[in-house]
Structure 1
Amino acid sequence: MSAYLGRYRGDSRLHTESDLRVFLTWCTDQDLEPLSVARVDIERYVRWLQDVRRLQPSTVSRRLSVVVGFYRVCVIDGILPHSPADYVRRPVVPPESPTLGLGHLQFEALITTARQSANPNDFALIAMLGLLGLRIFEACGANIGDLGEEHGHRVLRVRGKGGKVVLVPLPPAVARAVDRAVDGRLDGPILRNTLGARMDRHAATRRLKHLAASAGIRMPRMHPHISVSRFVSSFWSVPRPSSVPA
């Protein structure tokens, strides 16, 4: 496990470890030794993700990819003669996500509710997801030290997938929301949870669902990145403001 996870770093490592833990926990529940499973066992795991956990095909495919990668490393390191994950059937992932974005009035209601919230992190969260189009881990991972100026414009240094860093210009509305959440602090995370620690993606999801319920928005499978930023891409005609490599 250490050899496999050693290939990753940062959020990628955390997410890969989480997905691998799901598989290993399933093996424990099934009284299976992970290094002795057969292909049919992994087929059963995939079916469990689909029929019991009822996960989306993209999520099932991602978790299966983690299992495939784990056993591939086992073969490379000479722990197993061959991978039991070879030839496991992958779920069909549709080319376009069926998740719908927010409509104009829905997003207006959501951001108004966030602006009026007693929790200053709510407005900053919705502004960073909805108006900047950031991914949930990008918004939660942003620090006060990432704020700055570039050519007279306020910018936010964003760490994206694969460790790529870009400078994203902050529109005035987003800058005000961020300043309200920072509240004069000089360091630490921009978004904080109710305990004052960094807000993680789970806490952000709970806040988004709470705000959606308060705003009277009833949407299935409310998602903190897709449902907000897809609205932005259709309303503002661009998925996110122009960014330049840091």
Structure 2
Amino acid sequence: MAAFPAPASGVVPTDQLVLRAAVSAFLGRYRGQTRVHTESDLRIFLRWCTDHDLDPLASARADVERYVRWLQDVRRYQPSTVSRRLSVVVGFYRVCVIDAILDHSPADYVRRPTVPAESPTLGLGHLQFEALITTARLSTNPNDFALVALLGLLGLRIFEACGASIADLGEGSCPLVLDT
């Protein structure tokens, strides 16, 4: 992680080596785009720690709460974004406890922001989606139907749909194959 640059002498202090090992152990649990997004969220936390002269492995619950307040008050993130970023921090500290790097997690008992059960983002209604998928099926480009079906029927995120390949889906598991 670039949050803690190596000193000019080329010798990395032990605490930085431990932090790098902890970060690697945590990120090693993820693959693909999930790893990319998780690393990004963790990098933001580690940068915040650096900016506040805080050793992430010596932080307390109050420090994690200050980070949450910073996300809310300074960065003005929505509760769902704050909750997701806090989940990454909680997971990182959980791995640190599991790996005996820390005795306890400073993220324990940190209150998560309230995220409404209903998303404020409007989605398509049943009839609207039916019209969209029908239009996509009639398109001269078969990729239009495949993309709409992946997004709408399987609930994939756009990066998941764009990163999918036929080999990933398998021939027998894909009801999207058009008769030609």
Q: Shorter chain as normaliser: what TM range? A: 0.5 to 0.7
| Counterpart residue identity of residue 67, structure 1 | V
Alignment of 1:52-201 (within 5 A): 52-102=74-124, 104=128, 123=144, 127=148, 128-130=150-152, 133-146=155-168, 149-150=171-172, 167-170=173-176
Number of the residue aligned with 2:13 = none
Q: CA deviation at 1:171?
A: 6.9
Flag the structure with higher strand content.
1
**Contact 1:4-1:70 within 8 A present in 2 as well:** yes
Q: CA deviation at 1:36?
A: 1.9
Normalization by structure 2: what TM-score? 0.65
Q: CA deviation at 1:81?
A: 2.6
Higher relative contact order (CA 8 A, sep 6+): 1
- Percent of aligned pairs with the same residue? 72
State the secondary structure of the residue aligned to 2:108: coil
**Contact 2:60-2:106 within 8 A present in 1 as well:** yes
CA distance 1:2–1:49, change in 2 (3 Å): same
Number of the residue aligned with 2:59 = 37
Q: CA deviation at 1:146?
A: 4.6
**Contact 2:147-2:161 within 8 A present in 1 as well:** no
Number of the residue aligned with 2:32 = 10
| Counterpart residue identity of residue 67, structure 2 | Y
Q: CA deviation at 1:41?
A: 1.3
Flag the structure with higher helix content.
2
Q: CA deviation at 1:72?
A: 2.1
Unaligned runs of 5+ in 1: 151-166, 177-246
Write out per-residue CA displacement over residues 59-116 of structure 1, whole angstroms, 9 at most, x where no aligned residue. 21121121112112222333223221121111112222111124749x86xx89xx7x
CA distance 1:58–1:168, change in 2 (3 Å): farther
Q: Distance in 2 between matches of 1:123 and 1:137?
A: 16
State the secondary structure of the residue aligned to 2:174: strand
Q: CA deviation at 1:141?
A: 1.3
Q: Distance in 2 between matches of 1:26 and 1:12?
A: 21
**Contact 1:129-1:135 within 8 A present in 2 as well:** yes
Unaligned runs of 5+ in 2: 1-22
